[in-house]
Amino acid sequence: MSEFRDWYNGVPFFTRYWMTFTIVLSLFGKFGLVSPYYFILDFYYFFNQFQIWRPLTALFYYPINPGTGFHFLINCYFLYNYSQRLETGMFAGKPADYFYMLLFNWVCCVIIGLLVKLPVLMDPMVLSVLYVWCQLNKDVIVSFWFGTRFKAMYLPWVLLAFNLVISGGGIMELLGILIGHLAFFLLFKYPQEFGGPALLTPPAFLKQLFPDTRYVGGFGTAPQARVPTRPGNTVFGGHNWGRGQTLGGN
């Protein structure tokens, strides 16, 4: 028990509680402790009955049954693995920045969910975080089923194609990719490559609530800002989108 406690306490803060609430609410719905209907995102009850908790519970709840149980476990693995890598890598020492990115992705999921009537948001939210990590680590080699290995930049699209073939889905994965790409663009490409303002900078009160700590390093390298050229000089610059390390696991 002490080993589990040590492992659990060692999981980064936001990843730990995101994973915990996801498992707890999903099990509550599975065993009927609370009616799952109160967890899902519903346009009518959210706006007309002011059930304002639904966007939050729709993030954490996932319906577990014989047909979705394996998919739920895979999602939990992706959540734990890639959220942890982001939180201890590119966002190490900057908890407010990571929370603000999660908040932005969640708001995008809620807006899209209300527009297209998505009852649960776990799939696009997890895929959006995975997508950001993959863009920051494009050249890292990841492993997939059946021993296949490829660069991380292809992983979100492989997952989309896999779910499209296996279950006829893919819409959730596509939405997650779009949301993750928007977050990545606003966080890195727009301010660093196009010279725009940093639109996803967390407000001061979040910095006070989650103050920065000492950076300890990890996976992922932000895109380099463009180097201005002088007349008569040509700059051939490449972007360091990720470390070329080999990782085991998905």
Q: Copy the structure tokens of residue 19.
A: 């994973």
Band (pLDDT 50/70/90 cuts) for residue 127 is very high
Residues 6+ apart with CB under 8 A from 182: 108
Q: Return the closest-CA partner of residue 67 out of 149, 168, 157, 138.
A: 168
Q: Return the closest-CA partner of residue 85 out of 12, 20, 147.
A: 12
Report which residue type is found at 166: I
Has residue 20 got a pLDDT over 60?
yes
Domains recognised in the chain with CATH numbers: 1-209 (1.20.1540.10)
pLDDT tens-digit series, residues 84-121 = 999 999 999 999 999 999 999 999 999 999 999 999 99
Length of the chain: 250
- DSSP calls for 27-81: HHHHTTSS-GGGTS--HHHHHTS--TTHHHHHHH----STTTHHHHHHHHHHIII
Band (pLDDT 50/70/90 cuts) for residue 147 is confident
Instruction: Let me know: does 52 contact 103? Beta carbons within 8 Å.
Output: no
Residues 6+ apart with CB under 8 A from 143: 149, 247, 248, 249, 250
Model confidence, pTM: 0.85
Q: Return the closest-CA partner of residue 102 out of 26, 42, 18.
A: 18
3-state secondary structure 179-192: HHHHHHHHHHHHHH
The confidence score (pLDDT) of residue 126 equals 97
Has residue 243 got a pLDDT over 50?
no
pLDDT higher at 230 or 137: 137
